[in-house]
Amino acid sequence: MACEFMDIVTTIIYIVLFIIMMAFVFSIGMLKHYMPKREVILVLFVAFLIGSVGGAFFLEPIYEELPNMASVVEKNMPNNEETLYLDLSSSVDTNELRNVLSGMKGFKSFDETSISIPMWSFNEQEHEYFDSIVGNIDSHYKDYNVTSDRINIELEENYTSSEALKTFSDWYKLVYGETLSYAQIQAVLVVDSYELESFEQALLDKGIVASHIDGPIQDSINNTNSSMLSNVQFVLVCGGVGVIVALIGIYMDSVVPAYRRFNKFMNTKRKR
């Protein structure tokens, strides 16, 4: 809560500082009467420069947070869930990880779905051999796929990666007399959307980052990102705002009387 409050205060300060910069640009524009006409171009250039710098330093950090701001509604909707796809090293104790995650608020499920075992580059005969034998090693292998240098095994529900790796390792040692040094585990974690950040931090503390996330929050972030300007484009737009503010200052003496005449005309028309 304190961190969010500081973020709000920082955002307000940055916006106020940008407004102050625009007020300075406006005041420069109003000095048109005291400068030669050819200096107007210089004023507009300075206005563009100030707007760009102000946008880059004060508004761009806020702009970059728009996807997270847009996801706040989805984050607080009841029953929304996020699905995190994890690629884990076989050195990770998945049982301990499961215990840690399942004890957290917002936990829904944690399933180890498959293992991927890197091998050497198979020749045709070796590829055919592994393709025919892997399915017979363990009846809990739901499915498997043998590529040119890797064996991918899908696991049955409630069958852990450690059990699957043990049966394959035992077979491999029996046939080849060697032990496997590494494998990759694919797991799926489902959590409440509101607690997504807590789970991401818990995973990060163990050196784990989700390879992919599906859910309302991530969809909202992706949709917002796809509609946003690039950082360079945003800075240029801020520079354009500086130019517009400068032009308003330059032509203020013409704009104000015109506005008053227009307002007087509209009031007269209403009375009729």
Q: Where are the domains of the chain?
A: 2-71+225-271, 81-214
pLDDT in the model for residue 103: 94
> Within a 13 Å sphere around the CA of 185, how many CA atoms are in the beta-carbon half?
23
pLDDT in the model for residue 272: 55
- CB 213, CB 83: distance < 8 Å: yes
- CB 96, CB 188: distance < 8 Å: no
pLDDT in the model for residue 226: 85
CB atoms inside a 10 Å sphere around CB 85? 14
Rounded Cα gap, residues 169 and 49, in angstroms: 64
DSSP the chain: -HHHHHHHHHHHHHHHHHHHHHHHHHHHHGGGGGS-TTHHHHHHHHHHHHHHHHIIIIIHHHHHTHHHHHTHHHHTSTT-EEEEEEEEETTS-HHHHHHHHHTSTTEEEEEEEEEEEE-----HHHHHHHHHHHHHH-TTEEEEEE-SSEEEEEE-TT--HHHHHHHHHHHHHHHHS------EEEEEEEEEGGGHHHHHHHHHHTT---SEEESHHHHHHHHHHHHSPPHHHHHHHHHHHHHHHHHHHHTHHHHHHHHHHHHHHHHHHHH-
pLDDT in the model for residue 164: 92
Q: Which of 75, 66, 28 is nearest to 47 (CA)?
A: 28
Give Rg (Cα) of the chain. Answer: 31
pTM of the entire structure? 0.71
For 210, residues 6+ apart whose C-beta sits below 8 A from its C-beta are 84, 85, 86, 189, 200, 203
- CB 158, CB 189: distance < 8 Å: no
Bin 15: left if φ > 0, else alpha if -120 < ψ < 50, else beta.
alpha
C-alpha 205 chain-centroid distance:
19
Rounded Cα gap, residues 166 and 174, in angstroms: 12
pLDDT in the model for residue 2: 42
pLDDT profile of the chain (272 residues), mean per 10: 62 92 90 74 91 93 84 76 94 92 94 93 92 92 93 92 92 89 92 92 93 87 86 94 91 68 65 56
